[in-house]
């Protein structure tokens, strides 16, 4: 195989995605004949598992679904389905509406760290299963609560 052919195969493999890429790889390996997979892995930098998946798709005619959207970290609500309800119960007792009545946001005097501590103390969550205080703050904002700094903790003016 010439250097020009190798470059063409590598560049074509980079342009194609998913099912089409795997079929292309399988066809190239099939045209190389015996030892083609080893050659493609070493010289073209392709992975053996991708080539095997492409060969399977080529042989059966069935497209394997990639399920890229199922990868990654799960949202906190999926891991702990009752978390948002429990957070609302804790925060509702300490919430007040905007004093100027210009927005419908609710303000709470609890910090995200305090909400986390109360989830552990009152609702029975374990510390290692709960998200961080920053994440709890984000979830409170999504629920419509605006966190305000506690009055005691503000520095006094001179």
Quote the CA–CA distance of 148 and 94 in Å, as a whole number: 12
Residue 67 structure tokens: 């399920």
| Burial (CB count within 10 angstroms: exposed 0-12, middle 13-18, buried 19+), residue 39 | middle
* Tens of pLDDT, residues 19-78: 899 999 999 999 989 999 999 999 888 999 999 999 999 999 898 888 777 778 888 888
Which residue, chain included where needed, has tokens 């510390």? 127
- What is the pairing mode between strands 95-97 and 106-108? antiparallel
Per-residue model confidence (pLDDT) at position 72? 82
Q: What is the DSSP string of 60-100?
A: H-PPPP--GGG-SPPPHHHH-TTHHHHHHHHHHTTEEE-TT
Quote the CA–CA distance of 35 and 23 in Å, as a whole number: 18
* Tens of pLDDT, residues 109-132: 788 899 999 999 999 899 999 999
Residue 27 structure tokens: 């066809």
pTM: 0.50
Q: Where are the domains of the chain?
A: 3-60, 76-150
């Amino acid at each position: 195989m010439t250097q020009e052919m190798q470059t063409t195969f590598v560049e074509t493999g980079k342009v194609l995605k998913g099912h089409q890429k795997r079929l292309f790889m399988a066809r190239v390996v099939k045209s190389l004949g015996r030892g083609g997979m080893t050659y493609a892995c070493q010289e073209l930098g392709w992975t053996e598992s991708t080539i095997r998946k492409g060969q399977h798709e080529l042989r059966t005619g069935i497209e394997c679904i990639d399920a890229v959207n199922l990868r990654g970290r799960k949202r906190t609500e999926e891991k702990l389905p009752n978390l948002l309800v429990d957070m609302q119960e804790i925060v509702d007792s300490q919430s007040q509406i905007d004093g100027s009545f210009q927005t419908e946001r609710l303000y709470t005097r609890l910090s995200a760290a305090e909400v986390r501590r109360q989830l552990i103390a009152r609702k029975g969550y374990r510390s290692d299963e709960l998200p961080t205080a920053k994440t709890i703050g984000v979830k409170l904002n999504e629920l419509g609560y605006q966190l305000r700094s506690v009055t005691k903790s503000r520095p006094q003016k001179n």
